[in-house]
Amino acid sequence: MLSVGAKAPDFTLTDQNGKSVSLSDFAGKRIVLYFYPKDNTPGCTRQACAFAGVYEEFRTLNAVVIGISKDSSTSHQKFAQKYSLPFLLLSDPELIAIQAYGVWQEKKNYGKVSMGVVRSTYVIDPDGIIEQALPNVKPDTNAAEILDYLRS
């Protein structure tokens, strides 16, 4: 994981509509950048729907919500349509942003060790500096936790 106070690495990835999106496109805004393992899995769906449920509040706080996983743009498009997700989902199959942000890590699941995305969230300030770095976030409380932080 990157540290609070570090410059957020820029990247360019493809969104759910096949459009190239760079982090630098959002200069001057706060960015909520959350990394998740896989579209349409129970935890990831709950997390995305929680962000969608309070999305307008993020917008009133001038914050952009962006979700990133290894899934394809096509998978993201189906996921976003199925759950009416109003924010960007970026596809990172080459692990460009996932590795730059240090969320590709060893995971243990039922005794089996493998590499994967650790569910993590960053808040990036309008100047591109990481102001919050949260590893191992809970899918059900992550959106509310970030919203509370932004309000304070």
- Give pLDDT tens digits for 26-48: 999 999 999 999 999 999 999 99
- Give the 3-state secondary structure of residue 18: coil
> Which pTM was predicted?
0.96
Task: Measure the N-to-C terminal CA separation of the chain; round to a whole number of Å.
Answer: 24
Using CA atoms, how far residue 30 sits from 44, 62, 80, 150, in Å, is 22, 7, 22, 9
Looking at the structure of the chain, the number of domains it has is 1
In a domain, 5, yes or no: no
Question: What is d(CA 5, CA 71) in angstroms, rounded to the nearest whole number?
Answer: 29
pLDDT class of 73 with cuts at 50, 70, 90: very high
Number of other residues whose CB lies within 10 A of the CB of residue 23: 21
Residue 3 lies in a domain: no
**Model pLDDT for residues 126-149, shown as the tens digit of each residue:** 999 999 999 999 999 999 999 999
Assess if residue 64 is contained within a domain.
yes
The residues that bridge with 114 in the sheet, in sequence order, are 107
| Sign (positive or negative) of CA dihedral 109, 83, 19, 101 | negative
Average pLDDT value for residue range 56-85? 97
CATH number at residue 38: 3.40.30.10
pLDDT score for 34? 98
Could you tell me the residue range of the domain that residue 108 belongs to? 12-151
Helix, strand, coil percentages (3-state) for the chain, rounded to 5, are 30, 30, 35
Q: Is residue 85 in some structural domain?
A: yes
> Per the domain annotation, does 22 fall within a domain?
yes
The residues annotated with a catalytic role in the active site are: 44
